[in-house]
Structure 1
Amino acid sequence: MALGYTHSTIAAAIQNPSQHILAQNRLAAFSYQQDSSFYGLLAKQQQHSPHAFIDQPTSTPRAPQQDHPIGYGAFGVVWSVYDPRDNVQKALKKMSHVFQSLVSCKRVIRELKMLTSFEHDNVLSALEILPPTGHSSFHEIYVLTDLFQSDLHKIIVSAQPLTADHVKLFLYQILRGLKYLHSARVIHRDIKPGNLLVNSNCQLRICDFGLARVEELDVHQPMTQEVVTQYYRCPELLMGTNHYSYEIDIWSVGCIFAELLSRRILFQASSPLKQLDLITNLLGTPSLSDVRTCAPGAIRHVMKGAKKQQALATLYSLSPAATHEAVHLMCQMLIFDPAKRITAVDALTHPYLEEGRMRYHSCMCNCCQTTPANGGHKVLHRSDVALEPDCAEPFSYHFENDLNSLSKAKEKLSDIVYRNMNHSVPLTINPRSAVYKKFSSSTVAQASELPPSPHVWE
């Protein structure tokens, strides 16, 4: 896997047939709208070709790839789809059952607001939100984004070699994107390898904001513990804390850091209780001060029996690339007390990431590089740019205060869709597509496929 702008073979090397169900017929799930009406459909454009153009492009269109599902989770299904406007494969996320409850509707609105407001090279944003095909179909939302060929999970479990340079480059981009999100006062709450998209040039973006929320400043306001995939869940969540902040994302990054080095999940347990036991096996028994915000039953659980000693030296055995600097940074992420856990800002200043920063900004970033109009390699054009920029302003969630009914929430969603119909030729779902039935029936993950719920402490 090459770095920078040298061609890479990531996508081919990591293909997993079981995760890529190819459609039997080559037809896209998109068609053009003839006008800008909210519910417009152009069935006429399908008479001769499933990829009919209103205006033929000036360049010769390439043969589109088959549209096919590439992932799904608790809140949505993602397909690789062909955009006939520019002949490019993109990602289409379908959010189903949007109006099932006011809570689910607010979650979707929050995610859409984030996807349409974030602007950062290492954070996924929406290219477009597709309008529904009619009033009866407005129970689903479709979001178009850039397509990334892979994600860190697929890379980690593949036979694709990962060098120390790859690890540094990926970790730098994760923390760079996380610094931006945290500066916007957003806690992601589900940082895991599968939510870190990677393309063939090793560029990485954080995706899936289905669980993300704004920081809760009131420490007495309870927050849900139904967040973060279990393997990447921090001790305070496992131990029933009612309030948490950005530190839960940093713990997840520490787990991913170790996984990149060893190609194995650091804390892989079958239940939340066993997950906590694995953590104490590595970090040792915490002090009472370290777990002061946790549930009393959880504190008794970790304190019972003989006191466990730290075994952090075992981190050096993760990989030959687990150098002193690597382990030092990892240990600052994997700390019981969230108040002592390193921040994304401070982690980015760690010596371990110097090479990753230099490589990223020498040939990959858009902040201090530009691509000439005639193509070719990127060239340096700025020296005074902020290498790890913050969000211009905190993410605002005050719109949620007015969403006290499903009708108001539906009105707000309609407004978001309208405001993001900024393309001169908008797209709509094409019901004549050969994969339309498969697309429309694709569902989110079932309860049996989701991580175990948090343990209920006394």
Structure 2
Amino acid sequence: MRRGLNINQFQDWQCGQDYELVKLLGTGSYGQVASAVHKPTGKKVAIKKMDNIFDDEVDCKRILREITLLRRLRHPYVVELFDIIEPADVDKFDTLYVVLELAESDLKKVIKSAIHLQLKHIQLVVYNLFCAVRYLHSANVLHRDLKPANILVNEDCSVKICDFGLARSIAGVEQASLIIGSSKRFGKNEENSMRTDENHEEVTLKGTEPARLHHQDQTVEELKKEEEEKGADTTPTSQMTEAQKRQEMTKRLLKTKDQRKNIKRELTGHVVTRWYRAPELILLEKEYGPAIDVWSVGCIFAELLGMMKESAPTYLDRRPLFPGKSCFPLSPDHDSKSVDNRHGFPISTNDQLAVIFLVIGTPNEEDKSFVTDQKALDYLNAFPNREKVDLCTIYPGAGEEAIDLLHKILVFNPYFRISLDDCLEHPFFKSMRKPDKEQKATEGVHFDWEKETMDIPKLRQHFLEEIMYFKKLREKGAQ
């Protein structure tokens, strides 16, 4: 141990001979994180200690999911998993030590600090973040909990997405986007008709590979890719106005409402920290996709713009864009005294959707066309009309390009929300794009055990497989 270190805080840590613990960095529901040095190489690392990992099956599978994802993901802006320390007793261990890449800080700490950011710093951080998220989506992975605390950051504005406990591989999950995507799926063309197996585990188009996540969610910007599938009497998408594209997508959403409503729910809705949670998650839509992470990045983007001196004179004046204090129906405000007389829903000015509508305005019928549940529609109709706010008034120093991008991200209907590819192609990032940063995954991530109900011995075996993977790497490196 290093001189001056409080030894007592690490007295129950068992990290073996290769690591020297330096400083306790944080404690939370997940466990503890400490900085350390890998003695054979002198490399600075972070060690995440998780106790009693087998006490709860849901939490245990989250930990397993995180380490198996991180072992497979390789991108400069995704935190790297270096090692999983082998336990002394492989048959009875219940504590896990995961060795991760160490970063200087995270965006939550940066936002709470007294420093101000310039627009060029924000551009670089958000661009790097979009590159990382695009890589995840190309690997069929949704992060599902993007927020400032889960974005590690270094002084050079490089980011490291971390905390994949709520992330999911979406490979094999039935996607409403495939139902919506092709006009030939309504009896006009059997060759490309949609095929779904009896267990709803995989949806493909005949003659194609299983759909990859990065092109499963179709936005209005991507309608142009379907021109070859349209009849000769159809107006080419390239000649459509933005309003016409939205109308076309609205027709598809309304036409497929019953099909989408009957999708077997395979992804939980209670994900993403409230302030960064997309409307489709709040409304408990059965199907959601990459657009939820795009929304979360937009909320982070807005918070970073709030760090400009023109936006907030001091760090004490900063605030998240959507600081809701409740989220009906997942976590309603039980103290709300006001009730909508038509539908009986509690109305709170601090409700997450109410806070969102104060900024982006109350959705119109076109905006609500993706919603499949009638109760959710009744809930939306209970909100008073609000006009969209010009974000220039909130972030006066951001400039036209930043505000234009933010407006296109913070869109209520996920099918109208800008795609990740279009985010990267936006003029706001024109001066800093680099092909090596925008790499996609070479293969998707899928877990055979994701839908299994596993007992402790089975879970322990999966952990041991991951631990032994790193043990073999160390042995191979020592040869």
TM-score, normalised with respect to structure 1? 0.70
2:77 equivalent to 1:95? no
For each residue in 1:183-215, what CA deviation from the matched residue of structure 2 results, as whole angstroms up to 9, or x when unmatched? 001000000011110123221111110000022
Contact (CA 8 Å) 2:15, 2:85: kept in 1 or not? no
Structure-1 separation of matches of 2:94 and 2:366: 47
Q: Secondary structure at the match of 1:412?
A: helix
Where does residue 438 of structure 1 map in the other structure? none
CA gap of 1:97–1:296, structure 2 versus 1, over 3 A, is farther
Structure-2 separation of matches of 1:407 and 1:268: 42
Q: Secondary structure at the match of 1:153?
A: helix
For each residue in 1:301-347, what CA deviation from the matched residue of structure 2 results, as whole angstroms up to 9, or x when unmatched? 32125422222x1x113334321111111111111101111121211
For each residue in 1:76-97, what CA deviation from the matched residue of structure 2 results, as whole angstroms up to 9, or x when unmatched? 4322223222333311112333
Instruction: Report how far residue 354 of structure 1 moved.
Output: 1.8
Contact (CA 8 Å) 1:333, 1:342: kept in 2 or not? yes
Of 394, 401, 404, the residue aligned with 1:328 is 404
The Cα RMSD (Å) is 2.6
Structure-2 separation of matches of 1:25 and 1:402: 41
Where does residue 327 of structure 2 map in the other structure? 272
Contact (CA 8 Å) 1:403, 1:409: kept in 2 or not? no
CA gap of 1:404–1:231, structure 2 versus 1, over 3 A, is same
Alignment of 1:3-402 (within 5 A): 24-25=6-7, 32-33=16-17, 66-72=22-28, 74-135=29-90, 138-215=93-170, 216-219=173-176, 220-222=263-265, 223-263=267-307, 264-273=319-328, 274-291=351-368, 292-293=370-371, 295-304=373-382, 306-311=384-389, 313=390, 315-357=391-433, 361=434, 386-400=436-450
Where does residue 466 of structure 2 map in the other structure? 416
CA gap of 1:227–1:402, structure 2 versus 1, over 3 A, is closer
Of 442, 453, 456, the residue aligned with 1:406 is 456
For each residue in 1:256-286, what CA deviation from the matched residue of structure 2 results, as whole angstroms up to 9, or x when unmatched? 1110001320011211141110111112121
Structure-2 separation of matches of 1:268 and 1:259: 11
Contact (CA 8 Å) 1:132, 1:141: kept in 2 or not? yes
Instruction: Report how far residue 386 of structure 1 moved.
Output: 4.3
Instruction: Report how far residue 98 of structure 1 moved.
Output: 2.1
CA gap of 1:425–1:140, structure 2 versus 1, over 3 A, is farther
Amino acid at match of 1:265: P
Contact (CA 8 Å) 2:35, 2:47: kept in 1 or not? yes
CA gap of 1:137–1:90, structure 2 versus 1, over 3 A, is farther
Structure-1 separation of matches of 2:26 and 2:325: 26
CA gap of 1:243–1:176, structure 2 versus 1, over 3 A, is same
Instruction: Report how far residue 149 of structure 1 moved.
Output: 1.0
Instruction: Report how far residue 155 of structure 1 moved.
Output: 0.8
Structure number with the bigger relative contact order (C-alpha 8 A, sep ≥ 6) is 1
Structure-2 separation of matches of 1:410 and 1:186: 24
Amino acid at match of 1:121: P
Structure-2 separation of matches of 1:108 and 1:221: 25
Q: Secondary structure at the match of 1:93?
A: strand
Where does residue 236 of structure 2 map in the other structure? none
For each residue in 1:226-256, what CA deviation from the matched residue of structure 2 results, as whole angstroms up to 9, or x when unmatched? 2101010111111222221111111001111
Structure-1 separation of matches of 2:470 and 2:420: 31
Structure-2 separation of matches of 1:336 and 1:191: 18
Where does residue 332 of structure 2 map in the other structure? none
CA gap of 1:225–1:305, structure 2 versus 1, over 3 A, is closer
TM-score, normalised with respect to structure 2? 0.67
Where does residue 440 of structure 1 map in the other structure? none
Structure-2 separation of matches of 1:409 and 1:316: 51
Amino acid at match of 1:269: G
Contact (CA 8 Å) 2:15, 2:97: kept in 1 or not? no
Bigger Cα displacement from structure 2, 258-267 vs 129-138: 129-138
Q: Secondary structure at the match of 2:65?
A: helix
CA gap of 1:108–1:30, structure 2 versus 1, over 3 A, is closer
Structure 2 unpaired stretches of 5+: 177-262, 308-318, 329-350
CA gap of 1:84–1:240, structure 2 versus 1, over 3 A, is same
Q: Secondary structure at the match of 2:285?
A: coil
